[in-house]
A and B are shown apart, each in its own frame.
Chain A
């Protein structure tokens, strides 16, 4: 087990290194940060001066080597746009808001998906099942930004129940619409997964045995079937959480949510290379680590699985 984890950690480092390198070179292709930064009013001398300060006048390979050695020490340089604040600090300051949204969306989708999936499987082909399946299909195929705007129009503009956007200094009512928007696709996917997993297991011999020995139906469903159906979900939840952390970009933009996604969009538009790199590093690292944890958990939850 220890050896396995060590190997996976090494792989994780390689993956993050690859991602960070790819982003470094891609960013170089996308234009000049200094021009965008200074606006129309600056003179050429000012521009050259800033370019020199940022080291953008040095050759690319040299910049890459410097970048790597700094990054290895956790130093992603200073923000180009934000008066030289450390890029990593800017990203980490935004991380809690994103984490809040991501974990809440994940909890919402896991709980709701389990409920809906179980109902659907137990009452197979009933009206309820059809409704759930239809909604799941809808949820999975709906673009996120459209759903977000529709939710705003219904709950904020028409009904006036919830704020349309904003962070509201952390007040819970501001969380609801962004959470729903962010959770929808994963929720739909999980529901379908729970449903098919349950259907699979409800046809197994040990379920028939459990029923034969006179167990109450709820005991059969929750005690035996769901427990086993839950195992593959862990993998999907891990992937989902990674995607939620990195993929909140659209949701954060729509709801003006001050998280990593919003920060990174602004950084990309302003060609703030250091901030983009730090954000990609943080998200990639989280993704890799979460999936490592999930894999380890998996062997624990299902002893039949062996890591080699």
Chain B
């Protein structure tokens, strides 16, 4: 027994030596197959024939398929179910396949017909839609009133676990009048109802398919959109789309599309520079020059619908003092920070409402940089020698968030505000926020997905937000309360006359501004890398859609 084992052992060792020897010979020979010569691969490996690629695509042939790229995997949560997601990346990807009744245009103000051709308000509680006729879902099911009713009600059912369910919870019923007419009813007057209907959760899904089994969304996707799902394995891998040649709006110009996620910023930028991807959302701001000089792609920017801001904890010192809050707004030098830290990639806003939102106050100008005024306010408030202030920031989520917090602290220190940036891990930040352990400035950000001031001013600043937060226990980042403000946003919520509603929101924004309930900052700028083969301009609402692109030929 021992004998045989010893022999096999020797044989094995001999074989190891043989293999190593053979490899050594191969490596020394003239026709080396692969393998770098040393531990650090300074020598390029032989080029595999299949990887051959023209190095200058501009002079070569155009790519066969369009590759769209993002940095975050958002489909893990609900896979291919468009109605339960909330993220803008998931929306951007899945709305190649699925469409709502109405869609917001590029200006983020005009509502365009999509699967509904016209609509009218019948009374305070009813919005009537005429549906597009002759449209079929990708699996052959008809799109009609019943399909629309099914799709609108589906995300409202708590059993379907739609992440944005509360945004649509005001819808009380959908009546099908005839095959192509439906009435959408709300329990209370809802001036933002039409905008709500542009939302991601309100996309139309093929009813028989969607109702057939709970896990259909992990395998298939059947909508009415310009693209059909062509291949899909799982949320961490590339997947592809093919043009829907029967699309009611005409077949899209680009026939094959690949959806890819590259989490690492440096890799994403490199993939763009090597021509492997054609449109990349969020490329490194420092790399934009290199991308432009590469002759292969261009960096393109657009103001984004996302608004970051620092909420002030108004119940605790030092931010329980209005003059100090205003002083912070005057002293933070945000315009300077936009130039020096963000390379100009942000646009100031006076409060937390963006210029393209319904209810935006055009005449309200952002707090200017005025350190002297800040000092005067501090003196009046009884803090001529400054005060301590925590800046609770998070890192790695938005463009240069950490650097911005540090620069703000520096600026505030110049007028004597002893600001201290405190890094909060995103999840831990939430916990401390809920435990109400935070004071000073607390980072927040909002991408208003229905483009209406209600979905910001009411849900973040009305007293009810403070009082219902965290199951009534409260949280640090929702501390604001002003009865006068409350009254205005409550009235605006049910005011159907657009002019009166705008006046209410204007007054509300003036109060919020004067109260300095937050350190009001900016709308971010989105930076896209776009290959020279692709004709496309970015949108403000972060949507990257192949059907809005064409080959540059």
Interface residues of A (CB under 8 A from B): 30-33, 35-49, 81-83, 93-94, 108, 111-116, 118-119, 131-132, 135-136, 138-140, 142, 149, 151-157, 159-167, 169, 171-173, 176, 180, 184, 187-188, 191, 218, 222-223, 226-227, 230, 253-256, 258, 262-263, 265-266, 269, 271, 300-301, 303
Contact = CB atoms under 8 A, between A and B. Distances in A.
A300 B1 CA distance: 12
A157 B267 contact: no
Contact of B77 (A43, A49, A81, A187): A81
Given A31-B427, A47-B471, A184-B40, 17 more contacts: A31-B425, A41-B164, A115-B20, A115-B27, A116-B39, A131-B38, A132-B38, A149-B270, A152-B267, A152-B270, A155-B44, A156-B271, A157-B274, A160-B274, A166-B238, A222-B18, A269-B426
B12 to A, nearest CB: 7
Given A163-B276, A165-B271, A301 B446 contact: no
Ranked nearest first, the 9 interchain pairs of A and B with the lowest CB-CB distance are A31-B427, A139-B39, A135-B38, A258-B236, A188-B39, A222-B17, A114-B20, A227-B13, A135-B40
A113 B37 CA distance: 10
A44 B470 contact: yes
Contact of B273 (A93, A154, A157): A157
Interface stretch (B255-263, B309-317, B489-497): B255-263
A223 B15 CA distance: 10
A156 B237 contact: no
B47 interface: yes
Interface of B: 2, 5-6, 9-10, 12-14, 16-21, 23-24, 27, 35-42, 44-45, 47-48, 50-51, 53, 55, 73, 76-79, 86-87, 158, 161, 163-167, 234-238, 260-264, 266-267, 270-271, 273-276, 425-431, 434, 446, 449, 468-472
16 contacts: A36-B430, A41-B163, A82-B76, A112-B38, A113-B39, A119-B24, A132-B38, A136-B40, A149-B266, A152-B266, A157-B273, A163-B51, A166-B238, A266-B76, A301-B13, A303-B5
Contacts of A266: 73, 76, 236
A130 B235 CA distance: 47
Nearest to A94: B236
B163 A39 contact: yes
B323 to A, nearest CB: 30
Given A43-B166, A263-B236, A227 B14 contact: yes
Contacts of A138: 39-40
Given A42-B166, A222-B20, A222-B21, A82 B40 contact: no
Contacts of B40: 135-136, 138-139, 142, 184, 188
B274 A39 contact: no
Given A116-B39, A155-B44, A262-B263, A39 B17 contact: no
Nearest to B261: A256
Nearest to A116: B38
Contacts of B164: 39, 41-42
B291 to A, nearest CB: 11
B8 to A, nearest CB: 8
Contacts of A33: 427
Contacts of B16: 226-227, 230
Residue with the greatest number of chain B CB neighbours at <10 A, chosen from A47, A48, A162, A256: A256
B44 to A, nearest CB: 7
